[in-house]
Structure 1
Amino acid sequence: MTRFLQLFVIFMPTLAWSLEPLSATELDNITGQGGVYLSGDLTINEHGGPLNSDGPSANGYNWQTSCGPGSSDSRCGARIAVNTGDGGGWLVLDNIRGRFSFEGLTLKTRKINAGFEGDGATFNRDVFEIGLPNKLDYDDASFTIANSNQARPTDIGFQQTDVMTIDVNGAANLQGNLLIFPTGTP
């Protein structure tokens, strides 16, 4: 640690003198790349979660405390519902629970103006690019893939068809990018 402090003190004057503000004109001539590099460790409902099927009580929603890996309760995990179009259907990831960790997820924009068998030149717009992390670790993770007619189980007339439930322990290696294309006219 002492050696580090000595090096810091020696090079500090050089670092301080090399940094200077740029004018607006100088900034206009600078180009670069932007983006976000993320690492995370997310645990969802490790010790239970709210039950919305019972509705609010005097103290808020009732709390489910047996949401561990063998629980048969269908309302323990988080829910993500995505509207699949103007017809009103919802693609659902339901009962998401467990531990998910990753390193190296990237988020940035990218211009598509070539490739895609000639369609890129015609498209000539920015897309949102999600760079998949190299490795995802799962610990007692599970989720259900479903479709439903409403976003929330508490909506009137809610009906859901569960397609499959996935239980995962271990690691997955990922490669590639996910591109999200805008809709509508530029």
Structure 2
Amino acid sequence: MSTDDLGSVSGQGGVYLSGDITINESGGPLNVDGPSYWQATCDSSTTDSRCGARIAVNTGASGTGWFVLDNIRGRFSFEGLTLRTRHIDSGFDGDGALFNADVLEFGLPNGVDYENVSFTVANANSARPTDSGYQQTDIMTMEINGPVKLEGNLLVFPTGNP
């Protein structure tokens, strides 16, 4: 396509994503009072602790408080997650006109399908179960199966000086 022809084309930028993510379908690391070893089965019927993936976020200024999503396992699939920029110059009870800038917009997927998904919400005194003196308090464990319909957008507003 020539430069002149391309100059007459208009459109919108953005990304439309679909995906399928499986975590620890065929096993994963398991830490039990000693060195790590490979747990052969990490499906939702497994009662072994710390069989799935782990996300730990430090919440304490001294590095001692950790919010944990532990034992994450199962299959997540989605279709229709969008990512684009959007100009806001109106709405938001008049604040849009004052803002008058671009934001990043995440459009939630039309639906998410969960298959044997489970995770534990906990807090801990360190990030890794293998750390000396490690202690974790499990708050609740979630198990999810089936489809979920999502609607709406997440807007990310830039901050700071240009």
Q: Percent identity?
A: 65
Return closer, same or farther for 1:137/1:127 CA change in 2, 3 Å cut-off. same
SS in 2 for 1:120: helix
1:76 matched to 2:51? The reply is yes
Look up the match of 1:93. 69
Aligned partners of 2:51 and 2:2: how far apart in 1?
53
Distance 2:137 2:44 in 1: 22
Post-superposition CA distance 1:65-94 (Å, at most 9, x none): 231212122212122344569686554332
How far the C-alpha of 1:49 sits from its partner, in A, is 0.5
Map Cα deviations across residues 12-49 of structure 1 (whole Å, 9 max, x no partner): xxxxxxxx2216xx75x865422111111111101210
- SS, match of residue 142 in structure 2: strand
Query: Are the structure 2 counterparts of residues 149 and 116 from structure 1 closer, same or farther at C-alpha, using a change threshold of 3 Å?
Result: farther
Distance (Å, rounded) in 2 between the aligned partners of 1:82 and 1:75: 16
Superposition pairs of residues 59-70 of structure 1, within 5 angstroms: 61-70=36-45
1:106 shift after superposition: 1.0
CA, structure 1 residues 146+125, in 2 after alignment: closer, same or farther (shift >3 Å)?
farther
Please name the residue that 2:160 is paired with: 184
SS of the equivalent of 1:167 reads: strand
- If you compute each CA radius of gyration, which structure gives the higher value, 1 or 2? 1
| Deviates most, 128-137 or 87-96 | 87-96
* TM-score when normalising by structure 1: 0.68
**Higher relative contact order structure (alpha carbons within 8 Å, sequence separation ≥ 6):** 2
Structure 1 residue 123: deviation in Å? 3.2
* Structure 2: 5+ residue stretches without partners: none
- Determine which of 110, 124, 149 is the counterpart of 2:100: 124
Where does residue 5 of structure 1 map in the other structure? none
Whether the 8 Å contact between 2:66 and 2:123 is mirrored in structure 1 is: yes
Distance 1:162 1:103, change over 3 A: same
If each structure's helix is expressed as a fraction of its own residues, which one has the higher value?
Answer: 1
Q: CA deviation at 1:148?
A: 4.4
TM-score normalised by L of structure 2: 0.76
In the alignment, what sits opposite 2:3? 22
Match of 2:30 in 1: 51
- In the superposition, relative to structure 1, how do residues 107 and 160 fare at CA in structure 2: closer, same or farther (>3 Å)? farther
Structure 1: segments with no counterpart, 5+ residues = 1-19, 56-60
- Matched residue SS, 1:118: helix
